[in-house]
Chains A and B, each alone.
Chain A
Amino acid sequence: MLHRSHIYGVMGEFSSPEELIHAVEKVREAGYRRVNAYSPFPVEGLSEALGLKRNMVPLICLIGGLTGGLGGFFFQYWVAVIAYPLNIAGRPLNSWPAFIPVTFELTILGAALSAVLGMLALNKLPQPHHPVFNVPRFTHASSDRFFVCIEAKDPKFHIAESARLLQELHAHHITEVSDD
């Protein structure tokens, strides 16, 4: 079909999480792949219905935690043994048990920071504007309505066809989402 650059997609509104999941399943059964859903709270089963794979946040968090922990430990080692050795009654310079509390705290700090920053980066946030905000009723996506958007980038996308599919699924307020 003709690629229409000024259209982001077609959006339909639903009033309950069950209807949303049902609609997403049907839209995907119809062969659409560039589909997204918007909800005021995380809906159980929605990720599966959309076929979302496991995300990268846990891996980023693990790497951040390991970096924080190892970096924290060896930094203390470097300070105590190499940079500023203090001979206190001949005790070993690498007194590693005394380094554990700080190592632990830095592990947590590294993991927590990378989990949050990783989540935001993967979600491409902050992003002040997005085409879906052009839909006037989209303000309800943060309170009591659930939206499904079939995106124009989908190879099967056809404005009338896609809108009809949403209509068959009893979506309210089907609107086209302009891309500007």
Chain B
Amino acid sequence: MSAGQPPLDSPEIRRLSPVLGPGYTFGSVTDKISAIVLTRPTSLGWFIGFSIAFSLMGLMTIAIGWLIIKGTGIWGINIPVGWGFAIVNFVWWIGIGHAGTLISAILFLLNQKWRTSINRFAEAMTLFAVACAGIFPLIHTGRPWMAFYMFPYPSTMGLWPQFRSPLIWDVFAVSTYGTVSLLFWYVGLIPDLATLRDRSIKKPMKIIYGMLSMGWRGSARHWHRYQSAYLLLAGLATPLVLSVHTVVSFDFAVAIVPGWHTTIFPPYFVAGAIYSGFAMVLTIAIPLRKAYNLEDFITMRHLDNMAKVMLATGLIVAYGYFIEFFMALYSGNKFDVFLVQQRLHGPYAPFYYALILCNILTPQLLWFYKMRHNVAVLFIMSIVVNIGMWLERFVIVVISLTRDFVPSAWGRYSPTFWDWATFIGTMGMFVTLIFLFVRVLPAISIAEMRELVAETAEEEK
């Protein structure tokens, strides 16, 4: 190394870390991304991964089938813990989805160029996570075939939903979120579906992609309205994503149970959601870029930025934990103080300490440049944070419900085999959907990458 060269992590070098590898043209980004879907042979690794995920999804089907035959008694839920795994997993999955919308909407409005190569699969992740989340409240009703009762429809009984209930708000928030995420994702996909239509050789593929692309032809008049619609969707999805986890937190905060009834819940739930969501984006992005040689598109700059967002939201979450403790002690409310003691010394204390370790202590490593640029560390960290965020919901749900106001109402909770089977099964479903998505749709937005190529060329002039 020559004496004049700055060290690798100096500010000069860092600034040069690009969002797109050098030497790409409109044609070559199109070729590279569409080849994953159209021409590259499906690898053995894909089949192995898909088979494992699909088997786990089969486990979920069995678990749900058994649930429908036997009822929710096969789960560990009891009185007082009526919520258990179903709600823990629901909140966890919904939270994971949030990063997708944040990347596609908020970073779009903030004109962050680095979102371009990660927004498509992050949005797909959102949709699949919402699908997994939706399963839990549905089957938790015990009679999922009656779930339409939650929607307002003119029934012969003259009944209407109770619109003052946070659980009904949740129905509207989650279904709106699912719908808008799907619209956003599909609108973004239309030009890319047209690319796949024009580049596929086999007739059936041409017809399928042709129908999905709705005859998109890249007309300037169409782009003109398309851009308006896309910008509006981004503007609408931004408050929506913040509202969804706020409403989810109302499920807890509107109740008077100790540890739930706090005003810090909405912001800290939203931050937690983004935290776990970015962790999940990293968990998916790292193997994806490796498997399909996408290191030029999902660069170290992306991983670095995502790690920074994780660090920032992780600190907000840490602040939330601190304020929960502070408010309990400062208010002097004996039930709240007791709950704090239960978190630190109660039967579920190990979960609480594990949560602090996963969510607060470990991510502090992300302050270091070297750690943020070590792909293996980031991958492990993303999984640690996901475990931590799951533990957070477990702690919130289980400790508060097992230790409320009257000692005679105290209890214990432990999940059964079927609880785990359903939870792990939804992970299988999530991964199955991701595998299928990567195989049949462009995992990176081709049209936006071409735009990025044009912008990069502009800057270099």
Query: A: which residues have CB within 8 A of B?
Result: 17, 36-43, 46-47, 50, 52, 55-58, 61, 65, 75-76, 79-80, 83-84, 86, 95, 98-99, 101-102, 104-106, 108-109, 111-113, 115-116, 118-120, 122-123, 125-130, 132-133, 138-144
Contacts and interface: CB of A to CB of B under 8 A. Distances in A.
Nearest to A72: B172
A58 B162 CA distance: 33
B73 to A, nearest CB: 31
Interface majority SS (helix, strand, loop, mixed), chain A: helix
Residue picked from A95, A106, A123, A141, most chain B C-beta under 10 Å: A123
B225 A122 contact: yes
Residue picked from A56, A106, A140, most chain B C-beta under 10 Å: A140
A34 B220 CA distance: 13
B226 A119 contact: yes
A41 B447 contact: yes
Contact of A99 (B26, B163, B227): B163
Contacts of A112: 179-180, 183-184, 232-233, 236-237
A42 B243 contact: no
B159 A84 contact: yes
Interface string B192-230: 001101110000000000110011111111111111110
Interface residues of B, number: 63
A37 B227 CA distance: 15
B20 to A, nearest CB: 14
A95 B224 contact: no
Interface stretch (B49-57, B117-125, B386-394, B448-456): B448-456
A38 B447 CA distance: 13
Contact of B220 (A36, A115, A132): A36
Interface of B: 25-27, 30-31, 152, 158-164, 166, 168-169, 172-173, 176, 179-180, 183-184, 186-187, 191, 194-195, 197-199, 210-211, 214-229, 232-233, 236-237, 239-240, 243, 247, 250, 447-448, 450-451, 454
A128 B451 CA distance: 26
Contacts of B161: 79
Contacts of B199: 139, 142-143
A142 B163 contact: no
A15 B271 CA distance: 45
Contacts of A143: 26-27, 30-31, 195, 198-199
B198 A132 contact: no
A35 to B, nearest CB: 9
Contact of A104 (B158, B195, B243): B243
Given A36-B219, A38-B218, A99-B164, 19 more contacts: A37-B220, A39-B218, A39-B220, A41-B451, A61-B236, A75-B152, A84-B158, A99-B163, A102-B168, A105-B173, A105-B240, A113-B179, A116-B183, A116-B229, A127-B214, A142-B191, A142-B197, A142-B199, A144-B30
